Amino acid sequence: MTTAPTDERRRAAGRRDAEATKTAIVRAARYLLARHAHGDITLKAVADRAGVSPPLILKYFGNKDALFARVMNFETDVDALLDAPLDALGRHMVRSVLTGQAERGVDPILRIVFAPLHGDRGDILRADFRTQVSERLAARLTGDDAGLRAELAVGLLLGLGVMYGIARGPHVRAADIDDVVDRYGPALQAQLDPPAP
């Protein structure tokens, strides 16, 4: 004998579905934002890519500007990107960018590359990137020139992300992720570690 789901279980299932739908919408908006100017992207295009209706986007995000404000925010992505001990952070960051691209087709920070496409919104994207990525990384570093070292490390990471995700370098894409982490991680870690006295 089966029993009908309780109201609580139905609500929990509805919350999971809502979160999955929001995630699909954000992913679709990020995809389009990485390929088109902000002004050229319609809610219908986002909805079509996400497999939802435009009114559902409005229900969850309010309007296009609120959706893109969330898409331009790096906070959640950076939580995962920086989630490693400092002495292992270089390898972790490289792995994070590569697995994001290889497994999910997304990059936690690569959308900064497209800031010039977005006019005034690009200025917001750049400001968010500086405070939420570069400055947050610098705050974790010890020793002299933490800000410079953080920006150099992020620059190395973006270069790898561009080669893998945008230029689609066949050798990088064909290489085993562990091999790339072993080769590229130390270069990134060299910027994160304090300079020798």
pLDDT digits (tens, 9 = 90+) for 163-193: 998 888 999 999 999 999 999 999 999 999 9
126-141: average pLDDT: 93
Q: Are 93 and 177 in contact (CB under 8 A)?
A: no
9-38: average pLDDT: 75
Alpha-carbon span 54 to 21, nearest angstrom: 12
Which pLDDT value is given to residue 49? 92
For residue 15, is pLDDT > 60? Answer: no
- What confidence tier does 4 reach under pLDDT thresholds 50, 70, 90? low
- Rounded to the nearest integer, the mean pLDDT of the chain is 85
**Up-side HSE of residue 35: CA atoms within 13 Å toward CB?**
13
Instruction: Write out pLDDT tens, residues 110-120.
Output: 778 877 877 77
Q: Give the closest residue to 166 by CA, choosing from 24, 34, 67.
A: 34
Give how far the C-alpha of residue 117 lies from the chain's centroid of Cα atoms, to the nearest Å.
Answer: 18
Q: At 80, which amino acid appears?
A: A
DSSP code for 5: P
- Four-CA torsion 116, 34, 93, 194, nearest 10 degrees: 0
pTM to 2 decimals? 0.75
98-105: average pLDDT: 78
**Up-side HSE of residue 84: CA atoms within 13 Å toward CB?**
16
